[in-house]
Structure 1
Amino acid sequence: MIGRIQRPVDFERVLARPSRDRSAHFALHHLSANPAPSPWVAAKLRTAQAELSTGGAPVTHNAVDPNLPCVPDGCWVGMVVPKRHAKRSVTRQLLKRQIRAAFAERPGMPPGLWVVRLRSPVDRQKFPSAASDALRSAVRAELAQLLDRAMKPQARKPAPAPSPEAAA
């Protein structure tokens, strides 16, 4: 399942983390979590519970361990395409469509919240048409490389070897 990140809280959570990978124009951020619950859903549940006809039902509380890891249940995608980097709305919409299509082509993406951020301007000299086929194919190729690198397991830096002085 690929959902869309829509709430500012979720964007803030993901963008607060360092980028997972970068390309010439895009930065990719990832957070292994589900979107934050909507406040109106909680309010709706409270009012539904208040209207129960059973009145005196015993209230049971389950202990919740906050240290348990939250396993995300799907892939949620958000896009940040600022006007300062893509002046024309046609270009911004093309970039967003290409981002969605790039994620749809890769069903094996790790679950969680993903945000693709346009971090450098689109060259208007190189791509004079706002929605040209050249721009579409260049963006698609760059996103494909970026997502392919992100799907590979991240290599951890090896621990430094102990110095011979410390062993003695």
Structure 2
Amino acid sequence: MQRLKTRSQFQAVLAGGTVARTAHFALHCAALNVPMVEQKQTEPSTAPPLALFVVQDVWMGAMVPKRWAKRAVTRNAIKRQIYGVSVDFESALPVAAHIVRLRSGFDRKQFVSATSEELKAAVRLELQQLFARAATRPSLPAIKNEAP
């Protein structure tokens, strides 16, 4: 499994669309058919554009905004759960780029500690449901190719 790293990779996958949702998470997915992205340079060059996804594999990214998880320790714990559960479902996921996005916060009254075992268990259970829904989905949205 490959990890998304660049802003352009994240933007391309988010343009692909949502394939599954739970109460707190959304899974975005896009096929790996984006041919190229232009390099940022100050001077014009004849260098070929770079490919967004150079390996035909399952790509995974995690977005946990500060808006929904205020503390860095909570954001990092949720990201670790996302990557951990995604490895379990790697064989069930299609060869494509995926992003798991936190779309609402967990109740701070119910989960007082930033990294409690109860919070980790709740996140893990919901992520398993999310990936199970995505694994049963038949088709992938294609990435919208936009002209520069």
> Shorter-chain TM-score: which interval?
0.7 to 0.9
Residue 17 (structure 1) shift: 2.6
Shift of 1:102: 0.6
- Specify the alignment match of 1:146 in structure 2: 130
Cα distance in 2 between the residues matched to 1:137 and 1:125:
16
Q: Per the alignment, do residues 128 and 75 of structure 1 end up closer, same or farther by CA in structure 2, a change over 3 Å counting?
A: same
Equivalent residue for 2:20?
21
Q: Retained in 2: the 8 A contact 1:34–1:73?
A: no
Structure 1 residues 83 and 16: CA distance shift in structure 2, 3 A: same
1:115-130 alignment, distance < 5 Å: 115-130=99-114
How far did 1:16 drift? 1.5
Higher RCO (CA < 8 A, seq sep 6+): 2
Q: Report the residue type matching 1:93 in the other structure.
A: N
Shift in CA distance, 34/76, structure 1 to aligned 2, threshold 3 Å:
farther
SS at structure 2 position matched to 1:91: helix
Secondary structure of the structure 1 residue equivalent to 2:18: coil
Cα 1:34–1:17 shift into 2, 3 Å: closer
When the two structures are superposed, what TM-score results if normalisation uses the length of structure 2? 0.77
Please list, as runs of the form range in 1=range in 2, the aligned pairs for 1:37-116 lying within 5 A after superposition: 39=39, 73-108=56-91, 109-116=93-100
RMSD (CA atoms): 2.3
Q: What's the secondary structure of 2:17's corresponding residue? A: coil
Aligned-pair distance for 1:37? 6.8
Provide structure 2 residue ranges, at least 5 long, that are not aligned to the other structure: 41-46, 48-52, 140-148
Structure 1 segments unaligned to the other structure (5+ residues): 41-45, 47-69, 156-168
Identity of aligned residues (%): 41
One-letter amino acid matched to 2:138: Q
Map of 1:11 onto structure 2: 10
| Aligned residues of 1:102 and 1:140 also touching (Cα < 8 A) | yes
| Cα drift, residue 153 of structure 1 | 3.3
Could you report, residue by residue, the CA deviation over 1:13-61 in whole angstroms, capped at 9, with x for unpaired residues? Answer: 1112321111000000001106867959xxxxx6xxxxxxxxxxxxxxx
Larger radius of gyration: 1
* Conserved? CA contact 1:88–1:130, under 8 Å: yes
Runs of 4+ in 1 over 4 A off after TM superposition: 34-40
Distance 1:15 1:126, change over 3 A: same
